Structure 1
Amino acid sequence: MRLEAEVSLHFECLTQSGPITVRLGNAAGGRVNKKLNARGALNASCTVREPHVQSSAQFISTCGGRMRGLSVAVVGIVAGLMLSSAATAAELRVLAGGAMTAVWASIKPKFEQTSGHKLDIFFGTTPNLIKEATSGKPFDVGIVPVEVMSDAAARSHFAAGATVDIARVGLGVAVRAGAPKPEISTPDALKAALLKAASVASIPESATGYSIAKVFERLGITEAMKAKMRAQPTPAQVVAMVANGQAELALFLMNVLTAPGLDVVGPFPAELQQDVVYTAAPSAGTKEAAAAKALIDYLKTPEAISVIKSKGMMPG
């Protein structure tokens, strides 16, 4: 929890969990950084981090016996700000596409530190996300494949209006690390490589799987690929199947295929490429609309965009 106020004070307060941190500008420490104004009065910008304090009474009880030069009025100001901050911090339940796990591993702590809100993220494939959105369980915001929003029942559980596209990524092929790489630079070459492979790992029941099925259809190999498919429930298991030698090719999103144990062969040819797009919208029933909007806005910031790019995806 972070609280900031402009107050006139000079003190050092120790609490049960250690010193209260105070800050003026960017300087932080266990005591107030002081600045005199034109009349010689002491001013300070005070930042307090004290997560375990639940009430102003507890704050005064915790700190009161060990304060120096701090008036009760100032304690009231700081404690009041603490309660105000606690009231505005939210815990958001987020529905997210499983292929963005690596992105969220970096973005979650950054957003939590910046905003004070906490994220509880449910990862799933498109069918799982549709099921979760329509299950009646509360959630606050979704960053999901656009195919989730194409389902009328699921869409009704998100706020009306336009969604916000956050990231996109194309399809690719990978082999076990060190294995020979097939030629896939043209549609005919990709078709030949797929027909030659003994087995392929993917997630047919997912936004990615639907896109791959469209490619199979365009190549005229839908029936031939059915016997080769080794369907997996999660992106991590697609990677593991090929890395362990249980399937010859991995067909999935490029950002997922750049994983230890695999060598990326390359993206699908441009003529066949199908981007999977992840889009965001608040839940229709969220009680944390402001915090949900703050998360969506954060995902469009330069900091978040940098993370998205670093994980092999493109923003927007």
Structure 2
Amino acid sequence: MKALLLLLSLIVGVMPAMAGEVSVAVAANFTNAMHELAPLFEKATGHTLKVSFGSTGKLYAQIENSAPFEVFLAADTKRPEKAEAAGLAVPGSRFTYASGKLAMWSAKPGAWRDAEAWLKQAAFAHLAIANPKTAPYGLAAQQVMRHLGLWDVAQPKLVQGDSIAQTFQFVATGNAEAGFVAASQVKAWKGGGMVWEVPQAYYPPIEQQAVLLTKGADDAAARAFLDFLQSDAARAVIRSFGYGVSE
């Protein structure tokens, strides 16, 4: 009996050590996909996720200031590269987990007939974009407006969100007639409206990279999450939200 009790105590003592919690910093555009991926990862591995969403630039600033993140899912390649160069991430752990697409969206059906003509006519009181300095999708929106020759003239009517999530909310709540958002956000939206998928030629590719941060270098759960993110199951979910995924 004593032997059995000892065995049970050992099992109980080992089980919590086998499962871990991963602290992940995630770019705001990936919110909906992450909400679907998290339970799949937790069910498959027994590990749990602690997720913080925000603009890529602001999350990186937190990482620079010793935020306790173990994995970083950025909306660009620039910040993961910087993290590696600064010794904040594990060299060689970077990979592209999704390729983002930019869209102009309005919650109002019939907001325009021709999206480009609507933009050029400035037929709006407010147009929402994410902050180009901190949000890669905001930078892409700026590049589109420059491509169309509208960036300078549109300034008085632009409303900037701190992240692409806040930008989407500006449009969803009617505080802006339309806005440049992630196509994945529109795909997850159930309320209808108008969407213009911006031609890829109008802005550079939005390659979104993941990287293992040094705080998670020796964490099996953190490495397990990055492995999961590259699995067929995870890639299918990512693809279902409209992202490009390398084969």
Same fold (TM over 0.5): yes
Out of 162, 170, 184, which is 2:101 matched to?
170
In 2 relative to 1, CA 236–162 (structure 1 residues): closer, same or farther, beyond 3 Å?
Answer: closer
Q: In structure 2, which of residues 236, 242, 247 is the aligned counterpart of residue 312 of structure 1?
A: 242
Q: Percent identity?
A: 23
1:257 and 1:223, CA in 2 relative to 1: closer, same or farther beyond 3 A?
A: same
Deviations 1:100-136 (A, max 9, x none): 1111111111211221211111111022111111111
Distance of aligned partners of 1:152 and 1:82 in 2 relative to their CA distance in 1, 3 Å threshold: closer
Q: 2:16 aligns with which of 83, 86, 101?
A: 86
Report the equivalent of 2:119.
Answer: 194
| AA at the equivalent of 1:219 | L
Identify which range, 281-290 or 148-157, moves more after superposition.
Answer: 148-157
CA contact (8 A) 1:96 1:144 kept: yes
Of 35, 38, 41, which aligns to 1:105? Answer: 35
| Distance (Å, rounded) in 2 between the aligned partners of 1:237 and 1:260 | 17
User: Are the equivalent residues in 1 in contact too, given 2:74–2:208 (CA < 8 A)?
Assistant: yes
User: Secondary structure at the residue paired with 1:247?
Assistant: coil
Q: What amino acid is aligned across from residue 194 of structure 1 in structure 2?
A: L
Q: Given the alignment, which residue of 184, 193, 201 partners 1:263?
A: 193
More helix by share: 2
Amino acid across the alignment from 1:96 = V
Q: Give the structure 1 partner of residue 91 of structure 2.
A: 160
Does 2:116 correspond to 1:223? no
CA distance in 2: counterparts of 1:295 and 1:179, whole angstroms: 42
Separation in structure 1 between the aligned mates of residue 242 and residue 194 of structure 2, nearest angstrom: 12
Distance 1:287 1:226, change over 3 A: same
Give the structure, 1 or 2, with the largest relative contact order (CA under 8 Å, sep 6 or more).
2
Relative to structure 1, the CA distance from residue 177 to residue 222 in structure 2 (aligned partners, 3 Å threshold; closer, same or farther) is closer
**Displacement after TM superposition at 1:167 (Å):** 1.1
Q: Deviations over 1:172-223 (max 9, x none)?
A: 1111232333324xxxxx2x33222322112124111111212222222221
1:211 is matched with 140
Unaligned runs of 5+ in 2: none
Do the aligned partners of 2:98 and 2:207 also contact (CA within 8 Å) in 1? yes
- CA offset digits 1:61-86 (Å, max 9, x no partner): xxxxxxxxxx5545544442332222
Which residue in 2 is equivalent to 1:115? 45
Quick check: which one's strand share is greater?
A: 1
1:277 aligned to 182, 203, 207, which one? 207
TM-score where L is the length of structure 1: 0.69
Which letter maps to 1:85? M
Cα 1:242–1:138, aligned 2, differ >3 Å: closer, same or farther? closer
- Distance in 2, Cα, partners of 1:168 & 1:76: 52
Q: What CA distance in whole angstroms lies between the structure 2 residues aligned with 1:144 and 1:308? A: 14
CA displacement 1:146-166 (0-9 Å, x = unmatched): 232244688531111251111
**Contact 1:103–1:308 (8 Å) recurs in 2:** yes
Matches within 5 A, 1:9-28: none
User: How many Å apart are 1:311 and its aligned residue?
Assistant: 2.0
Q: Structure 1 residues 302 and 237, CA, compared in 2 at 3 Å: closer, same or farther?
A: same
Question: SS at the partner of 2:180?
Answer: strand
CA distance in 2, matches of 1:304, 1:231: 32
The answer to whether residue 172 in structure 2 is matched with residue 254 in structure 1 is no
- Higher radius of gyration, 1 or 2: 1
Q: Which moved more, 1:107-116 or 1:196-205?
A: 196-205
User: Residue 88 of structure 2 aligns to a residue in which SS?
Assistant: coil
User: 2-side partners of 1:281 and 1:216: how far apart?
Assistant: 30
CA distance in 2 between partners of 1:155 and 1:277 (Å) = 21
- The 3-state SS of whatever aligns with 1:142 is strand
Q: CA RMSD in A?
A: 2.3
Q: Bigger CA drift: 130-139 or 231-240?
A: 231-240
